[in-house]
Structure 1
Amino acid sequence: MIKQNHTSIQQFLSAGAITLSLGWLTACATTSSSLEQKAHFDTQLPHTWQSVNSSQSTLDTAALSRWWQRFDDPQMEALITDAIEKNPDLRSALSTIRQARAERGLESAELWPSLAASIAGSGTQTRDLNNSNSTHSDSYQAALDASWEVDLFGRQQQYVAAADAALAASEEDYRQAQVTLAAEVASTYLTLCSYTTQLDIVRQNLATRESTQEIVQWQEQAGESDALNSQQSIAATEQVRAQIPELEQSLVETRNSLAILTGRTPAALQGQLQLPTSFPSAPANIAVGIPAETLRQRPDIRSSENTILAAQARLTAAERSRLPSLNLSGSIGIEALQAGDLLDPQSLISNLAAGLSAPLWDAGRIRRNIEVQNELLQQAYLEYENTVLNALAEVENALSSIDKRNQQITTLQRACEAAQNATQLAQLQYKAGEVDLLTVLDAQRTELSLDQSLTSTQAEALNAHVQLYKALGGGWDTSSANETL
């Protein structure tokens, strides 16, 4: 039944609409009219994404599984591979899966009888106070006891179904952890690229200002300039120099973050990591498919589906607690006065008992438990709805961010080119005495600011691609996931 319900949800996604109702999911196992209360949401999926002209192409799941290879950066690719193998949080998610499997085994064990064996011996001595005579007697017992609560109406089977769904949800949570981890490593690496590029820009700008400062000092020594210009030049130079320690500290912190993500100590990563000198290449295009394909690809939505199925099964089990239960018990035992007689067939004793019981009055415990499980199911529905809506918004945000950041980069590139030319012209005109020092310093300050803005925007544009891959559910594939799980 769990598989059938899961298929039904996927069929709804394929049709472009999500309609989940409590009555639909519980129709297969309802035993009480309390489930007549409906709880549902109806969200019509868009057929295309708003932020792209055409998204009808099929989602490329093969490329999504290792999307970081499309950035053409071997170091970033190696970092993500190491993180997937060694990250502590990912290993913790694997432990959660093993726990869910063990809990599923506990529920399955309740379907089978339990068997216990016992062997006991005792001796008794009686003394007569009148004549000091005493008597001694021994007895020996061996027994094999069995008990079994027959799953007469399938209540325990529902608990097993709930455990199956919970196990499937934990496996999807592991895959979602892979998706999140790959995106986090890539984003951190891009931040590292941004800081190294900005540090290089600041150092180049510092060299230019130091050159200007030397000219001003020469002019002051020659009497062609005053101390004010010299102090203004020094202040501008030192202001730029002060940015270097801050950027170097940011580099250290970012590198240490990468070490944590890859499951290494900062010292271990520092010996292997080479600071990037440029940004990775942005992917030329991404086949985003249609929204329904994205929802089927995302592990967090698949996990929410299984959470609904688990909650449904627990609710059905709570409903079936109202029905009678059948208990069987039996034992085969041996009672003998001597240990040697334990193997005597004539000492064999056996019994079998069966009992049928049903709850008559429990102060509302079963009814309250049903209400609890029903509310948990409603919460699962709402969480599923929230996950779907967030997924759609994340894809739209990432697509829009890529487009807007690319527009911003084009504008900033023109501005940076103009600022560089302005700085060169200002320096030439200052040497010729046509402009004052403040014009040169202002041109240099504008050039530095625009170069840093361009670097930050380039990092944001690449990170938007990373967030799009994450929003599309990229970063895992069925074959590798099954081998790991």
Structure 2
Amino acid sequence: MARPVAVALLGVSLVGCSTTPTAEQVMEDVPMPMGWNNELADAERNEANAVEIETWWTVFEDPVLVQLINEALTNNPDLLTALSRIDQARAERGLERSQLFPSVNGGVSGSGSRSRDRRTDTTSSSESYGASIDASWEVDLFGQQRKYLEASDFALEATVEDYFAAQVSLAAEVANTYLRIISARKQLGILNESVASREETLQITQWQEAAGEGDVLNTQQVTVLVEQARAQIPSFRQSIEESRNALAVLCGTTPANIEALLDQREDLPDLPANIAVGIPAEVLRQRPDVRAAEKSVQSSVARLSAVEKSRLPSLTLSGSVGTEAARAGDFFDPQRVFGNLVGGLTAPLWDAGRISRRIEVQRAAVDQAYFNFEATVLDAMAEVENALSAINRKREEIVILERAVESAQLSAQLAEFQYEEGEKDVLTVLETKRTLLGLAQTLIQSKQEELVAHIQLYKSLGGGWSAPKEAAEVALDGNHS
């Protein structure tokens, strides 16, 4: 796909009159499929009833999830750092803009002296005063500085898109961590119920052993099964605590505050009814990371054009207006005012190849920006395909697991009934319950992963950045002033 020189792909002339490509020109050489290889069921891609993806977390109808993501988008330290980068980029853009205007300096001076001649016993004194306003201006004769300003404009816009992309990633990470906690708590609850059931069975076998109706081996085997289940509890608790602490960091708050929120929710949220996937070209326009890579290409091309213009002549104007007087009273005398204006036109004749090397460096930067754009586009399409595939495969897996859990529940009931009738031993009962426990935990894990696949799809579609972008828009207010 990529050519040796990305500049050629963008239709850029490298002779000092380069034009910055439009977004459409940047996109036109990237192959774009008409649709996706993986398709969702009709019920899940009914665009007529599809929700907007900008605030996708609301479709799960989970107020705790909504509150967590809103807090993260407001308080997350990394997101605030990304927002500060917008301020930095805007200031750098302001520096480039200031180069278009003259610089003016003013100064005031005064001096005095007094001397005495001992031979004549006379005293003499002198004074001098001066004031001046000096100005210098490098005229943007061939538009070099305006190209640098254009590059800064695109760099600022790319920084804003990076901020939006950070929002997208943050919202998805908060949701995934939240689901991981809920899933682990559900599995821990099932495990605790299993341990309690096994402990009851162990108590029965101990009573049977004491009454001479059982043996020591049977009791020890049941004890092993009980301890095996107990041994899983610390691992689940550690996972829950670590995920809770990670969620607190994401939300920019303390674990205690997160715990209070998590206690309000016990079950995993429901799946959304509809998802509007759209076509690949639309998806790429929605993704901030793709737009950021696009702006980086445009910024690099504009900077290349500015560097090329270093070969052209430059015009510098300088001048000053001032006054000089021997007495303070004559300071404002019009006859004491002086002024001058100097203009100079310079052009590089020989610089040992420095300008050529700078152009080569910037050409390589354009290539890198374009290749990064290509990679970002391909990654974006792959992420959508992977999410669609994961949703379809997880749905198939869950259907199979639900049937397996139903069969395991029936097997456990039958084994317990036959044990009470004396047809099966206690180990058979415990084995069927252990199988049921494992399948129930796997089913919860798969449901969590199906929800994660939906979140990944929303993320890959570029959802999660529009609603809280006001702060970044404020940072862009002066972009074209």
Percent of residue pairs bearing the same amino acid type: 50
Structure 1 counterpart of 2:388, from 390, 395, 399: 399
CA distance in 1, matches of 2:405, 2:319: 89
| Compared CA separation, residues 49 and 184, structure 1 to 2 (3 A) | same
Counterpart residue number, 1:45: 32
Which amino acid is the alignment partner of residue 49 of structure 1?
Answer: W
Counterpart residue number, 1:379: 368
Counterpart residue number, 2:58: 69
Q: CA deviation at 1:453?
A: 0.8
1:154 lines up with 2:139 in the alignment: no
Counterpart residue number, 1:200: 189
Q: Which whole-Å deviations, capped at 9, do the CAs of 1:119-145 have from their partners, x for residues lacking one? A: 011224566697676643221110000
Q: CA deviation at 1:447?
A: 1.1
Contact 2:184 2:240 in 1 (8 A): yes
Q: CA deviation at 1:40?
A: 11
Contact 1:59 1:293 in 2 (8 A): no
Moved more, 170-179 or 274-283: 274-283
CA distance in 2, matches of 1:325, 1:26: 27
Moved more, 230-239 or 49-58: 49-58
CA distance in 2, matches of 1:48, 1:62: 20
CA distance in 1, matches of 2:120, 2:401: 118
Counterpart residue number, 2:103: 114
Indicate the SS of the match to 2:331.
Answer: helix
Contact 2:206 2:219 in 1 (8 A): yes
Contact 2:96 2:149 in 1 (8 A): yes
Counterpart residue number, 1:290: 279
Counterpart residue number, 2:479: none
| Compared CA separation, residues 183 and 48, structure 1 to 2 (3 A) | same
Q: Which whole-Å deviations, capped at 9, do the CAs of 1:333-378 have from their partners, x for residues lacking one? A: 1010012211111100100000001111222211111111111110
Counterpart residue number, 1:323: 312
CA distance in 2, matches of 1:176, 1:133: 82
CA distance in 2, matches of 1:109, 1:29: 27
Contact 1:61 1:474 in 2 (8 A): no
| Compared CA separation, residues 132 and 371, structure 1 to 2 (3 A) | farther
| Compared CA separation, residues 378 and 60, structure 1 to 2 (3 A) | farther
How many residue pairs get aligned? The number is 465
Contact 1:59 1:294 in 2 (8 A): no
Counterpart residue number, 2:255: 266
Which amino acid is the alignment partner of residue 121 of structure 1?
Answer: G
Structure 1 counterpart of 2:420, from 412, 431, 434: 431
Indicate the SS of the match to 1:281.
Answer: coil
Alignment of 1:2-21 (within 5 A): 21=6
Q: Which whole-Å deviations, capped at 9, do the CAs of 1:92-147 have from their partners, x for residues lacking one? A: 11111111111111100000001110001122456669767664322111000010
Structure 2 counterpart of 1:347, from 327, 336, 341: 336
Q: CA deviation at 1:165?
A: 0.1
| Compared CA separation, residues 370 and 354, structure 1 to 2 (3 A) | same
Moved more, 338-347 or 438-447: 438-447
Indicate the SS of the match to 1:123.
Answer: strand
| Compared CA separation, residues 26 and 109, structure 1 to 2 (3 A) | farther
Contact 2:47 2:274 in 1 (8 A): no
CA distance in 2, matches of 1:473, 1:269: 27
Contact 1:193 1:275 in 2 (8 A): no
| Compared CA separation, residues 479 and 444, structure 1 to 2 (3 A) | closer
CA distance in 2, matches of 1:484, 1:156: 25
Contact 1:57 1:290 in 2 (8 A): no
CA distance in 1, matches of 2:315, 2:97: 18
Q: Which whole-Å deviations, capped at 9, do the CAs of 1:184-222 have from their partners, x for residues lacking one? A: 111011101111110111011112111211221121122
For structure 1, list consecutive stretches of 5 or more residues without a partner in the other structure. Answer: 1-16
1:235 lines up with 2:224 in the alignment: yes
Moved more, 50-59 or 224-233: 50-59
Which amino acid is the alignment partner of residue 156 of structure 1?
Answer: Q
Q: CA deviation at 1:269?
A: 2.5
Structure 2 counterpart of 1:85, from 74, 77, 98: 74
For structure 2, list consecutive stretches of 5 or more residues without a partner in the other structure. Answer: 21-25, 476-481
Contact 2:51 2:274 in 1 (8 A): no
Counterpart residue number, 2:436: 447
Structure 1 counterpart of 2:406, from 417, 424, 429: 417
Alignment of 1:178-197 (within 5 A): 178-197=167-186
Contact 1:323 1:358 in 2 (8 A): yes
| Compared CA separation, residues 417 and 262, structure 1 to 2 (3 A) | same
Contact 1:155 1:317 in 2 (8 A): yes
